[in-house]
Amino acid sequence: MDSGNNSLYDNDIDIESVGESSVADDSERRKARAKKRKKARNRAIAFLCILLLLIVVLVVLIIYILTGGDAISLPDISVGTSTENIEDDDVAIVISGEETMEEFDPESLIPEPTYEEKLDELVSAAVDVMPIEDKVAGLFVVTPENITGVSAAIKAGDSTKEAMTKYAVGGFIYFGKNIKDADQIKEMISATVSYSRYPLFIAVDEEGGSISRLSNSGIFDKLPSAADVGATGDTNTAYETGLKIAENMTSLGFNLDFAPVADLKTPTNNLLATRSYGSDPDEVSGYVLQMMQGLSDGNVTSCVKHFPGIGSADGDTEEGMAPSSISREDLESGEFQIYRKAIEAGAKMIMVDHVAVPALTGDNTPCSLSKSVVTDILREEMDYDGVIISDALNMGAISEYYSSSEAAVMAIRAGCDMVLMPENFEEAYNGVLQAVENGQISEDRITDSLKRVYRIKFADRVE
């Protein structure tokens, strides 16, 4: 019995030992499996890190190729490929070379804004915050007399300052009666500019020849007329004339010249006299473009005039209605060729005249007040995105048939960005403002025009 009991106890002991051994082995296996899972997890993490880094390198490489290789200097990156030896959070990544990822500037990936983008940003920043009253006033170019009420302004004093505080006009045009000598007009312009909250167009008609307000006042020597320039057969003469005019203008403070004339001279019309370069559109185009370039190189904005062409007009818009029987086909083969080339050359401003052309409008509406001419033809068909300004609204072709308010509203609704010299400025201004308030003209329409204007005024402010 004792022997049997001992055998039984021995068996019990053996079973318990086997149980403990089995538990120990199971624990070891669990630890081994946990270690394997941890290794697998670490390998997965390392793999994901390496994959992410490769993606980053690939993106940088693509940008490097697209930017022509100048925008980015890529560092030399080496990635450890043996994942078997990676334990816990260790990641074998070695970065070598002169640059490290910490030194890489992400801003170098952003393309440098273009001149046009910078200009648009400046213009929007200036225009978008203006009150509507200032936006509307900014579309008018007036004489000093328009806002002061005097008969002949030769000095910018308190009355000018007070008027400009009330009306933030976009610019002034000066005539012979405003000019006595160089010092006087220079001082007058300087004071006027100092009174304005916004940049101004300081304009004059300085074509050369008879229409030259500055030369005719005796301040400068007379320059050749367009006809004289055209007679030379040398377009460089037009460039030299434009450059000299710009030099004279800027010395006094002017920055906008209502020139050159792009009208064709016709045998039956003497209105242009010596103001036209000739009758051949190809030849006239050469002179117009060179005159534009000369003014531009002298830091003066040119305004090409008088769209769609007044050479065929039967009458003078200064006096009253001036109808023209010219056909659309003749305009296409004539003046329109000149304007298309001027637009391609970058014309910043074009003046639309008051001539009535039924072939374009269907009636005797002055072209400056016609959407068919200003928007449909000049803006859309000719793809012109510069500033469109009306001819002077105090001329008989307008003032004899329309009130100042009607004419200004019609000109802007037709597509003009600026209106020149209304007969009664306050009436014209209030008429446009009221048209905006009652929804006849949208504020967006006013803003778009003013932004075109400021693209000229801010052109030299882009860094």
Concatenating the DSSP letter of every residue in 87-117 gives: -TT---EEEESS--GGG--GGGGSPPPPHHH
Comparing 81 with 36, the larger pLDDT belongs to 36
pLDDT computed for residue 96 by the predictor: 45
- For the residues 32-40, what does the mean pLDDT come to? 60
pLDDT over 80 (residue 363): yes
Residue type, 386: G
Q: Encode pLDDT of 278-302 as tens digits.
A: 999 999 999 999 999 999 999 999 9
pLDDT over 60 (residue 458): yes
- For the residues 112-118, what does the mean pLDDT come to? 93
pLDDT over 60 (residue 16): no
- For the residues 390-411, what does the mean pLDDT come to? 98
pLDDT computed for residue 279 by the predictor: 94
Q: How far apart are CA 205 and CA 258, in angstroms?
A: 5
CB 457 within 8 A of CB 141: no
pLDDT above 90 covers a percentage of the chain that reads 71
Q: Please state the CATH superfamily assignment of the domain spanning residues 115-457 in this structure.
A: Glycoside hydrolase, family 3, N-terminal domain (3.20.20.300)
pLDDT computed for residue 161 by the predictor: 97
pLDDT computed for residue 105 by the predictor: 64
pLDDT over 70 (residue 3): no
pLDDT over 90 (residue 56): no
Q: Encode pLDDT of 308-319 as tens digits.
A: 999 888 888 888
Q: How would residue 131 be classed by pLDDT, with cut points 50, 70 and 90?
A: very high
Bridge partner residues of 392 (DSSP): 420
**Residues near 360 by Cβ (< 8 Å), separated by ≥ 6?**
308, 328, 331, 367, 370, 372, 373, 377
pLDDT computed for residue 17 by the predictor: 39
**Tokens representing residue 379 in the block:** 């803006």
pLDDT over 60 (residue 369): yes
pLDDT computed for residue 19 by the predictor: 41
pLDDT computed for residue 91 by the predictor: 42
CB 249 within 8 A of CB 255: yes
Q: How would residue 62 be classed by pLDDT, with cut points 50, 70 and 90?
A: confident
- For the residues 432-446, what does the mean pLDDT come to? 98
pLDDT over 50 (residue 89): no
pLDDT computed for residue 111 by the predictor: 86
pLDDT computed for residue 321 by the predictor: 87
Q: Encode pLDDT of 228-283 as tens digits.
A: 999 999 999 999 999 999 999 999 999 999 999 999 998 776 678 899 999 999 99
Mean pLDDT of the residues in the chain: 86
- Cβ of 140: how many Cβ atoms within 10 Å? 25
Q: Could you tell me the residue ranges of all domains in the chain? A: 2-109, 115-457
Three-state SS at 323: strand
- For the residues 302-308, what does the mean pLDDT come to? 98
pLDDT over 80 (residue 4): no
Three-state SS at 144: helix
Residue type, 442: S
Comparing 50 with 358, the larger pLDDT belongs to 358
Three-state SS at 446: helix
The torsion of the CA quartet 449, 451, 454, 456, rounded to 10 degrees, works out to -80
pTM: 0.78
Residues in the chain: 463
pLDDT computed for residue 21 by the predictor: 42
pLDDT over 70 (residue 354): yes
Bridge partner residues of 211 (DSSP): 208
Q: Which of 409, 425, 422, 316 is nearest to 371 (CA)?
A: 409
CA–chain centroid gap for 250, Å, is: 23
Q: What is the 3-state secondary structure (H, E, C) of 264-275?
A: CCECCECCCCCC
pLDDT over 90 (residue 220): yes
